[in-house]
Structure 1
Amino acid sequence: MDPPQSSLAELSSAQRERALERYRILRPHLDDGVPLARVAAHAGRPYRTLQRWLADYRRDGLAGLARHPRRDAGTRRLPGELQLLIEGLALQRPAPSVATIHRQVATVAAEQNWPVPSYATVYAIVRGLDPALTVLAQQGTRRYQELYELVYRREAERPNQIWLADHTQLDLWVIAPSGKPARPWLTVIEDDHSRAIAGYAVNLTAPSALTTALAFRQAIWRKSEPDWHLCGIPDAFHVDHGSDFTSAHLEQVMADLRIRAYFSLPGQPRGRGKVERIFSTFNQMCLPALPGHAPRGTPDRAGQARLSLADLDRAISTFIREVYNLTPHSETGTPPQQRWEESAFIPRMPDSLDQLDLLLLTVAKPRKVHPDGIHFQALRYLDPVLAAYVGEDVVIRYDPRDMAEIRVFHHDHFLCRAICPELADRTISLKEITAARTARRRDLRSQITDRTSIVDRLIEAHQPAAAPGLPATAQASAPEAPARPRLKRYRED
């Protein structure tokens, strides 16, 4: 005889197990007619207990064999004000110990002629408080929002619909150009739909509009690596409320590229959890294999720095292309790059890289062209074109990751790409400088000749006419009067 299944569905798992255990004990009596006294002796249970179970089963079925909770379970025989006093003390900041609360409550209960609760009762009341209530009271609104507020997760329907961006300081030490160890910063731009990394930037300085622009430039333009296909202009850009993202420059860039900007609320970065998860992936899968790795909480490992910033840049690029973008994502189940390519769409691109650079690389530095080139950050930049602009004020734009070259603008017009011979893979020869100098001098002499000829022509046209009766040639050839000596010689007087 099987127990009624309808009764089983009405019970909790604990009650169901308890009821089935008692049913198995009674089953020999119910199915085979074994006397109840013999069943009780075999099971080691009191005969009166089995009589009560049998009566409950015949009255309520299997549900009657379950142990029902007490009707007063969860209630305490304490005055309501006393329980509120215990809870109020437990919600203070900083949180007092249960022993401190018990002593204070015992004092108040004695003064109010209330029953003094035991330590176990006070402990049970404190531990029974709603965790959300405790966090809000003791840790504040921000922590409560992080742990208990419902979050709306935005999900892009297609690639390049929404991009996310954020910065983090890596748990790694590298060797700066000065020779000292430093911890670099990583900027990452992620495609929301595919979870693929579209671009990144590694810098030794704190996040700024420039580092964001450099990462944005790499994300938008076609990559030089053939196995990294992500590119294009996104429809929307979701970033935090930092000054590097809210700068007037990036606002103008997004307007020019027709990108909608979405900003997280100040102090509430939860909407960007996807891109922040990438940083954990870097700290767990990429950085531990590199020298100079320094996880948080470990002793200072600055002395173990071995990589330069360029070495770290190559390591991160390799990890993105060969590991992260090709590994199935835990949420989508598809490798990020494959998910980005599945839509088979044509990304929206800028007209040229020069146009993109003019929009993004706007760190404009005014400089003057000196006879030996342009001086910038203790470096000297040359180009033969600058020979025609010595002494002129110009504006330079540069990529901090590649200081071998700068772009030079004069009155908003592009002049040249000047190079630093110490850093670039090519140099400006003396022959080129001499040729540029000669051409510049020749051009200036030509301008002088043109202007002199005009002066001579206009001055000759306004010379006074010749005297009447005397040909102009005769007037021109008339002998000059002898010059009067400056010293008086008495023998000639």
Structure 2
Amino acid sequence: MHDMILLTTKQASDLLGISCDGVKKGVSRGIYSATYAPGKGKGGKQLRILLESLPQSAQDKYNGVEPAKPASDFDMKRLTEKQRTKLKQKIFVIKAYESFKKEYLKRDYRKAFISYFKDEYPEIDADLKLNAGKLEDWVKKYKGNGAEGLTDGRGGSGKGTTSLTQEMQEDFMGLYLSDKEPPITTCYSALKIYYEEMGLKIPHISSFKRFAKTIPPAAISMYRKGKKHFNDNHIASIPTVYERNMKSNDEWVADHHIYDVMVNGNGKIGRAWLSIWFDRHSRAVVGYVINLCEPNADIVLDSFVDAVTKHGIPKRVHIDNGKDYKAHDLFNCDNPESLVSVLDVAVRHAIPYNAKAKSVERLFRTLEDLNKLLESYIGNSPDHRPESMKGLNKAIAPKCISYEDFKKYAEAVIREYNNTPHSGRGMNGRTPKQVYEADLVSVRKIEPDALAIILRRSTHTAKVNKNGVKFRELQNVCYNSETLQELAFGKKVYARYDTADVSKIHVYEAETGQFLCVVGFYGEYDYGADEEVTAQTLREYGNHNKSVKNQARSYKPKKTIDIQTALINHASRLTDIDINGKPTNMALDVEKRKELHDIKQAESLLDKNKSKPTVKELDETAILSSLGRRRSG
């Protein structure tokens, strides 16, 4: 058995081309074998690395073995004409340099040769731009690999190849193709450390940059930008022409939009919301509400009521997947008592995060363009916020349009939109209003009295006890009457209620769905105070140079256009969609008509014999204020 050769940490690092710390980490991870020998160090011991545990290249380097050069299969025919010319010029320079050194015996031979060459061969030097660094590099490469070492593969037969191994490429993509979007420099630094720990070197960062450019844009989009970016930019959508096989009221699309305008609602500064219903075929806005609060199921119902009241009942609705559309009593086809079940409306759900599926997204962009003319427009992102609208709400309040004025403006913008020629496919330059009216075959309608009863929210079921019944949707307020006790004591019931007036509710038997009675408040209700609005932090800006300010102010417009009033006045002369004269089908069946008759009688009786609460006098105004939905209006 031959003697083991043990190396110091410094010797091993020189052979491996890595730091001493890298060698020690390799030992701790079991990559290299090591032992301890007596010497100066901690505990009188020094680390020794076994030569045989190092890579073969390091062992050969220690033993003075020159690596065998592979047989060259270099063929100049693979090069372009330009590459062959440049290669011949470099070889000519090297040969001339070797001859010059033999005859020129002074120490500054390199500098002297470059000066000599530039004077004697200016045409070649114009191409090569010879200097000391290039000269030594060419000599070294020619000595090591011959003519092939001097070849610049860029743009020639070697184009598209890489010095990265398959493993390096995969490791790089594992870091680079991340939704955290790390830069190439960061990925390279991490890979360099990773491979150094294994005693290996990786090519220069330029190789990784070239490789990154070969990764398809679709892969970059999917893994670095996300699924939505990938779908929006790389997945082709099927062009849709809505005039084929569709008519007005065949499908309505619902969505919400928060305006990029700051409004002043009785001293509260914020952005208004638009909840809208949009006819798919004609692109016409058929119903909407504008609110200062975030959308909820009540507001969705409110906007649907607005659309149905004006334009009848659609065959189908296309809704989002948000919780405000998933209320059990509105657009849930599995619930026989839901709004769409009673009105016989089909439901289609949008693909999550897929703006392409709902053309209403394009409508929002159109509506927002006119908002840019308002002083309190704030842009669609913090980066695009106008300088004049930066600051605390208190500071920008004087510039904010009032909520009531903004509602009038927004309503005028929607009317303008419905009366403006549309460039969409199949519209043929007509306005949404014209297309809607022309292609409305018939209208499904409900009598106004019936609408007021059907277009209500429903509660979940609850059991009637001696004190009446409470529903969590109605803040657990107690409702009771002698009729309720007589008809439903001990039974499970549910209620339908008007979100604008919860002082009385319609009660139904849960098992059969049969209408029982109309019931009013009974009992006491506690409610909490509103949350205090907190202020935002104001970023302070430095003062501008006085001369710059004066120069900028000299360009201040001397005339402002009251576009807001002009647009509202113009819109007031436009007409809304007219469905009069179209064939009308009434949507209620005989059973629902009987239920409507019974409800009217019960409400009339309740109004005549309204009993007083037995617990104590109720502050009905406070209860209605607390229970009443965040009303649109």
TM category (shorter chain) comes to 0.5 to 0.7
Asked if the contact 2:253/2:319 (under 8 Å) is kept, the reply is yes
Secondary structure of 2:340 counterpart? helix
| 1:256 matched residue in structure 2 | 342
Matched, 1:171 2:248: no
Which letter maps to 1:336?
A: P
| 2:435 matched residue in structure 1 | 339
Q: Aligned equivalents of 1:349 and 1:111: distance in 2?
A: 75
The 5 Å alignment of 1:223-372 reads: 231-251=311-331, 252-265=338-351, 267-285=352-370, 287-295=371-379, 296-297=381-382, 298=385, 299-300=390-391, 302-304=396-398, 306-331=400-425, 332-334=427-429, 335-343=431-439, 345-362=440-457
Which letter maps to 1:292?
A: S
Q: Aligned equivalents of 1:247 and 1:108: distance in 2?
A: 53
Equivalent position to 1:185, from 250, 273, 286: 273
Q: Aligned equivalents of 1:288 and 1:95: distance in 2?
A: 33
Structure 1 residue 141, shift from structure 2 partner:
3.8
Matched, 1:158 2:247: yes
Asked if the contact 2:252/2:316 (under 8 Å) is kept, the reply is yes
Which letter maps to 1:413?
A: K
Q: Aligned equivalents of 2:400 and 2:200: distance in 1?
A: 70
TM-score (norm 1): 0.54
| 1:388 matched residue in structure 2 | none
The 5 Å alignment of 1:9-408 reads: 70-92=156-178, 94-105=180-191, 116-152=202-238, 156=242, 157-177=246-266, 179-222=267-310, 231-251=311-331, 252-265=338-351, 267-285=352-370, 287-295=371-379, 296-297=381-382, 298=385, 299-300=390-391, 302-304=396-398, 306-331=400-425, 332-334=427-429, 335-343=431-439, 345-362=440-457, 397=498, 399=500
Q: Aligned equivalents of 2:178 and 2:356: distance in 1?
A: 31
User: Structure 1, residues 133-177: CA drift from partner, whole Å, max 9, x if none?
Assistant: 233333444543444344456654222111101012212233335
Q: Aligned pair count? A: 309
Identity %: 22
Residues 165 and 181 (structure 1), Cα distance of their counterparts in 2 relative to 1, 3 Å cut: same
Asked if the contact 1:167/1:185 (under 8 Å) is kept, the reply is yes
Q: Aligned equivalents of 1:408 and 1:79: distance in 2?
A: 74
Structure 1 residue 317, shift from structure 2 partner:
2.0
Q: Aligned equivalents of 1:90 and 1:274: distance in 2?
A: 35
Asked if the contact 2:163/2:203 (under 8 Å) is kept, the reply is no
Q: Aligned equivalents of 2:178 and 2:165: distance in 1?
A: 21
Residues 152 and 256 (structure 1), Cα distance of their counterparts in 2 relative to 1, 3 Å cut: farther
Structure 1 residue 303, shift from structure 2 partner:
0.9
Asked if the contact 1:153/1:271 (under 8 Å) is kept, the reply is no
Asked if the contact 1:239/1:272 (under 8 Å) is kept, the reply is no
Structure 1 residue 192, shift from structure 2 partner:
0.9
Asked if the contact 1:155/1:192 (under 8 Å) is kept, the reply is no
User: Structure 1, residues 39-96: CA drift from partner, whole Å, max 9, x if none?
Assistant: xxxxxxxxxxxxxxxxxxxxxxxxxxxxxx8544312244333333333332245343
Residues 292 and 96 (structure 1), Cα distance of their counterparts in 2 relative to 1, 3 Å cut: closer
Q: Aligned equivalents of 2:178 and 2:240: distance in 1?
A: 37
Residues 255 and 153 (structure 1), Cα distance of their counterparts in 2 relative to 1, 3 Å cut: farther
| 1:459 matched residue in structure 2 | none
| 2:93 matched residue in structure 1 | none
Structure 1 residue 274, shift from structure 2 partner:
1.0
User: Structure 1, residues 350-388: CA drift from partner, whole Å, max 9, x if none?
Assistant: 231222222224489xxxxxxxxxxxxxxxxxxxxxxxx
Residues 268 and 395 (structure 1), Cα distance of their counterparts in 2 relative to 1, 3 Å cut: closer
Asked if the contact 1:170/1:283 (under 8 Å) is kept, the reply is yes
In the alignment, structure 2 segments of 5+ residues that lack a partner are 1-154, 332-337, 460-494, 507-516, 519-598, 612-633
Which letter maps to 1:219?
A: A
Q: Aligned equivalents of 1:92 and 1:212: distance in 2?
A: 38
Residues 203 and 272 (structure 1), Cα distance of their counterparts in 2 relative to 1, 3 Å cut: farther
In the alignment, structure 1 segments of 5+ residues that lack a partner are 1-68, 223-230, 365-393, 419-435, 441-493
Which letter maps to 2:308?
A: I
Secondary structure of 2:348 counterpart? strand
Bigger Rg, structure 1 or 2:
1
Which letter maps to 1:253?
A: L
Residues 291 and 324 (structure 1), Cα distance of their counterparts in 2 relative to 1, 3 Å cut: farther
Structure 1 residue 190, shift from structure 2 partner:
0.7
Q: Aligned equivalents of 2:444 and 2:313: distance in 1?
A: 6
TM-score (norm 2): 0.43
Residues 307 and 140 (structure 1), Cα distance of their counterparts in 2 relative to 1, 3 Å cut: closer
Which letter maps to 1:195?
A: R
Secondary structure of 1:292 counterpart? coil
- The two structures, once aligned, show a CA RMSD in angstroms of 3.8
Residues 273 and 408 (structure 1), Cα distance of their counterparts in 2 relative to 1, 3 Å cut: closer
Residues 76 and 115 (structure 1), Cα distance of their counterparts in 2 relative to 1, 3 Å cut: farther
Residues 174 and 112 (structure 1), Cα distance of their counterparts in 2 relative to 1, 3 Å cut: closer
| 1:466 matched residue in structure 2 | none
Residues 347 and 317 (structure 1), Cα distance of their counterparts in 2 relative to 1, 3 Å cut: farther
Structure 1 residue 191, shift from structure 2 partner:
0.8
Asked if the contact 2:316/2:345 (under 8 Å) is kept, the reply is yes
Secondary structure of 1:279 counterpart? helix
Residues 290 and 86 (structure 1), Cα distance of their counterparts in 2 relative to 1, 3 Å cut: closer
Matched, 1:413 2:600: yes
Residues 326 and 140 (structure 1), Cα distance of their counterparts in 2 relative to 1, 3 Å cut: closer
Asked if the contact 1:93/1:138 (under 8 Å) is kept, the reply is yes
